[in-house]
């Protein structure tokens, strides 16, 4: 399988816009989930983001959608159930065993049972990334769930150690990272923010994957506190995670902040300057569509707190899949308009924001307290 040469990420403006991953599955694809329909939907979603002005879009993660697991949008089962060594046979006794030991109260049963050494099985991320690359129309981001998060959803009947299981998952996923035809690979982790004591293990596992990414491909790691039915499911703060974040071999972070208290933003001032910051400025847990003023104000608050030039990316807090398409699309448009307003650039509708930026941003709403 051959692909076109990777397209470099944009070099300007100094703050780039991106999305985090998922997009609401179109009704027509859900009604007729065929390969050609999936290709067409992926093309549409790339085009919607590019028309909104998003600098580095994602493919919408439509290939993961599983109607039997709507609570995770395929973030878990898509990755673990194809693996060799994982059984998807989960009866009452397995569910009972999982419920007795798991810290994940929002799951009633495991995503699978590890019965043998893990292997790639039928997992083939190259095929899915290649499908996106064929219709992307420019540089794009491809996303993969972190091994730590996946390990927490499994029942281990083989390794006898959560650490060994987590690192075994990391090795299998690392083999999938090589040769992916994308400009940016993002590792997604929504559990360690609520379990900072596992930071060293999670960082070691994520770094195994990051180190396997081809040179020239941007490395990103996304963290959030969960989004299940619009609810936050992990308690914690970014302050407790700064040492963990500084361990990562990443180029930039993709952090939930629009739905977080101001103190979380202040904690990021202690991050290693080698790691660029991506700041969540769009709240995906509400239907309210932010104004450009609100977005610009959140960017301004971030730069005042973490230092000028530290913010390199702005994005939604998390994926859009729980919102309606109309809301998601308008939030993306607002993201770009707000970034442009803050930077004093021409907006996507052709008007110039520079004359009003210095007054409008000052009165914009700051992040949630």
Task: Print pLDDT tens along the chain (369 aa).
Answer: 566 667 899 999 999 999 999 999 999 998 888 999 999 999 999 999 999 999 999 999 999 877 666 556 678 999 999 999 999 999 999 999 998 876 566 678 899 999 999 999 999 999 999 999 999 999 999 999 999 999 999 999 999 999 999 999 999 999 999 999 999 999 999 888 778 889 999 999 999 999 999 999 999 999 887 555 555 555 556 677 888 999 999 999 999 988 777 777 888 888 999 999 999 999 998 999 999 999 999 999 999 999 989 999 999 999 998 899 999 999 999 999 999 999 997 544 444 444 444 334 433 433 443
Residue 360: what pLDDT?
A: 40
Q: Does 20 fall in a domain?
A: yes
Q: Are strands 112-119 and 84-87 parallel, antiparallel or unpaired?
A: antiparallel
Secondary structure element (H or E) that encloses residue 316, with its range: strand 311-316
Q: Does 218 fall in a domain?
A: yes
Q: Does 100 fall in a domain?
A: no
Q: Does 266 fall in a domain?
A: yes
> In the chain, which residue ranges form alpha helices assigned H by DSSP?
27-31, 35-52, 77-80, 92-101, 125-135, 147-152, 162-177, 199-212, 242-246, 262-267, 292-306, 325-343, 354-360
Q: Does 105 fall in a domain?
A: no
Identify the domain containing residue 161 by its residue range: 16-88+116-363
Query: What residues does 223 pair with on adjacent strands?
Result: 189, 255
Residue 352: what pLDDT?
A: 46
Q: Does 79 fall in a domain?
A: yes
Residue 249 tokens, joined: 């071999």
Upper half-sphere CA count for residue 364 (Cβ side, 13 Å): 27
Smallest CA-to-CA distance from 265 within 138, 127, 366, 121 is with: 366
Q: What is the CATH number of the domain that holds 308?
A: 3.20.20.210
Instruction: For residues 73 and 361, give the distance between their C-alpha atoms in angstroms, rounded to a whole number.
Output: 36
Residue 99: what pLDDT?
A: 87
Residue 157 tokens, joined: 């009947």
Q: Does 275 fall in a domain?
A: yes
Q: Does 110 fall in a domain?
A: no
Residue 237: what pLDDT?
A: 62
Residue 54: what pLDDT?
A: 98
Number of domains in the chain: 1
């Amino acid at each position: 399988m051959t692909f076109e040469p990777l397209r470099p990420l944009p070099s300007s403006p100094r703050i780039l816009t991106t999305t985090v991953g998922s997009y609401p599955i179109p009704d027509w694809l859900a009604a007729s989930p065929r390969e050609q329909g999936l290709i067409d939907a992926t093309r549409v979603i790339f085009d919607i983001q590019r028309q909104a002005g998003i600098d580095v879009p994602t493919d919408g993660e439509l290939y993961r959608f599983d109607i039997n697991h709507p609570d995770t949008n395929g973030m878990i089962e898509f990755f673990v159930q194809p693996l060799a060594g994982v059984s998807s046979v989960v009866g009452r006794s397995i569910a009972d065993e999982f419920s007795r030991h798991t810290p994940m109260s929002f799951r009633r049963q495991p995503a699978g049972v590890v019965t043998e050494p893990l292997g790639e099985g039928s997992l083939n991320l190259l095929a899915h990334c290649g499908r996106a690359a064929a219709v992307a129309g420019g540089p794009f981001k491809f996303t993969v769930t972190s091994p730590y998060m996946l390990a927490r959803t499994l029942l281990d009947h083989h390794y006898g150690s959560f650490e060994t299981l987590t690192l075994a998952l990391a090795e299998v996923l690392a083999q999938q990272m090589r040769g992916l035809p994308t400009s940016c690979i993002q590792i997604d982790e929504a559990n360690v923010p609520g379990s900072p004591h596992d930071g060293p293990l999670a960082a070691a596992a994520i770094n195994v994957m990051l180190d396997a990414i081809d040179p020239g491909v941007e490395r990103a790691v996304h963290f959030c506190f969960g989004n299940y039915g619009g609810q936050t499911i992990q308690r914690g703060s970014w302050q407790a995670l700064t040492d963990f974040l500084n361990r990562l071999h990443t180029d930039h972070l993709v952090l939930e902040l629009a739905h977080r208290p101001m103190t979380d933003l202040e904690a990021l001032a202690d991050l290693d300057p080698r790691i660029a910051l991506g700041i969540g400025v769009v709240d995906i847990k509400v239907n309210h569509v932010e104004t450009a003023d609100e977005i610009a104000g959140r960017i301004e608050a971030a730069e005042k707190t973490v230092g000028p030039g530290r913010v390199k990316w702005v994005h939604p807090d998390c994926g859009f899949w729980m919102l309606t398409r109309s809301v998601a699309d308008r939030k993306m448009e607002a993201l770009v308009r707000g970034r442009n307003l803050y930077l004093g650039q021409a907006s996507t509708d052709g008007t110039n924001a520079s004359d009003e930026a210095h007054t409008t941003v000052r009165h914009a709403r700051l992040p949630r307290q």
